[in-house]
Every structure is written in structure tokens, then in C-alpha cells.
Structure 1
């Protein structure tokens, strides 16, 4: 049996109007106004980098499409920008009744509906993490390849 969660008529008829959380009535569902931020990425905490080799691994992460890193407090995270395969066009879950436990445990009480995605540190490119590591270790060009030899053409 294929399970498919179809949206109710009430949620289909509501446009995705940007509303402030505090303006949504208690009898309304916050998800009716959201574009499913929580279903468009996942973040995993990672070990705090301590050595140049650790930062080289972080650089490797950032060489991959749709990956970034962020730091909140003292905790480092790998952030993968990817959409859940079961997110429907109406921004609802296509497997709501059988969704994973992590999704079941997630509530709108403290969700990122109105979060601006600001972090203590945020890295999107390998060059950014290189610059950070170079400054931390006070060793310019730690991760750079040796400068190629110039050949003279005759």
C-alpha cells in the first residue's frame, strides 16, 4: 500500500503569506505559512578542528556542491543544503504518517520559521576556511599547492 499524505482543502486554499509567528492564531498551523525551511537542509555536528589536517578535511567538505560549515558557540557543524525527497509542492511532507523519528520529534514551537540563519561563523568556500586556518595557525598559504614552475617557450 502506498501512503501519500494529501493536503487538506484548508491548507491548499491558503496562500503562503509571510506572517510573523506572533500574528498566527493559536487555532492555526504555523506550517500553513511556511516554505519548509526544515526540510531543505540537514546539519551534523562535527569534531572541532584543532590541526591543519583537520582544516584540510573541512576544506574537502567545502569542495563539494551544496555543503557549508557553521559554528554556534563552540560547536562546529557540516551543513548540507538538500531538499527532502518527500517534500511536496505544497511544502508538506509526503510521508507524514511514516516520517522518521527526528521529524516526529521536531515541533513548530522552536522551529526556524522566523530564523534569519545567522551563525557565529559561516564558511561557504574552501578559500574561506583556508583563510581562517591560515590566520589561526599564522602560516600563510598552508593549503596552497606549490607554485608551478614557469617554462620558457622558445
Structure 2
């Protein structure tokens, strides 16, 4: 039998969308960060990306630090283990516009420090004395 994803509009009265979801909203948190305007700002973002399970994205002109980490109270059935005492941010969250059927596309998405540094070098004005060429790679060792 083909396992298909339930569409929001097909939910029966009384059914809750969370019963059909893998709890995407409980597997990360994203915090807005200052828009980078200087190389030093990109250095901070580069530092974020040196950490495991971190990424940075741009959505609607706002930059975010995204930390891919699962809530410690998420149960194996993808439901909340502390539902009655969950934090206010969880209480305020609704499934009205949640990412249940979202494709997770962002304007810009960076997963590595190399990606953000390459982006910074492409959009930022050249610094005094900085060449428009890439730095010379190190010489390869001579084999005997």
C-alpha cells in the first residue's frame, strides 16, 4: 500500500495535524541575527558555521541562525512529552501556518564556513591591498 501524506485540507473535524507530522518544529530552533554589513559580521557567521548542526539562512530580508537540534522532550511518536507544562513559545505556536507541508526553501542558505566566506568575498567591497584573484594555493609536495 502506498503511504501518502495527509493534506491539511483533508483532516476530519477533531483531527490534529500534529498526529500526522514528524515534528519538524521540535527538531530545530532559529534565531534572528543582525544583517551582516562588514567582514567582521561574516566572521561571526563563519564561527557559527564551524559548529556542528548549525546553519544560517536568509528569509524575507532577515538573517537567521538555525540550530538543528531535537527538543529533549520529543517522544518517539513525535509528540510532546511535556505537553501540559510546555513553554509559552510552544503554546503560542499553531499548525495554521506551520512547516508541515513546507519545502524548506530559503533565499540563501549556508551550511559551511567556506560558503559564507565565499559569499562575503563576492558581495563585499574589496579591502585595500586585496587582490581580485583567489589566493595562491600551497605548492604540492615533490615526490621522489
TM-score bucket of the superposed structures, by smaller chain: 0.7 to 0.9
Question: In the alignment, what sits opposite 2:78?
Answer: 91
Count of equivalent residues: 137
Query: Could you tell me whether the CA contact under 8 Å between 1:17 and 1:33 is conserved in 2?
Result: no
Question: In the alignment, what sits opposite 2:123?
Answer: 136
- What is the deviation of 1:146? 9.2
Query: Does 2:42 match 1:55?
Result: yes
Return 5+ residue gaps in structure 2 as ranges. Answer: none
Where does structure 1 differ by over 3 angstroms across 4 or more consecutive aligned residues? 138-141, 144-152
Query: Does 2:82 match 1:103?
Result: no
Over 3 Å counting, the alpha-carbon distance change for 1:83 and 1:137 in structure 2 is same
Query: Does 2:64 match 1:77?
Result: yes
User: Cα RMSD (Å) of the superposition?
Assistant: 2.6
Return 5+ residue gaps in structure 1 as ranges. Answer: 1-15
TM-score, L = length of structure 2:
0.84
Q: What is the rounded CA distance, in whole Å, between the counterparts of 2:66 and 2:141 in structure 1? A: 42
TM-score, L = length of structure 1:
0.79
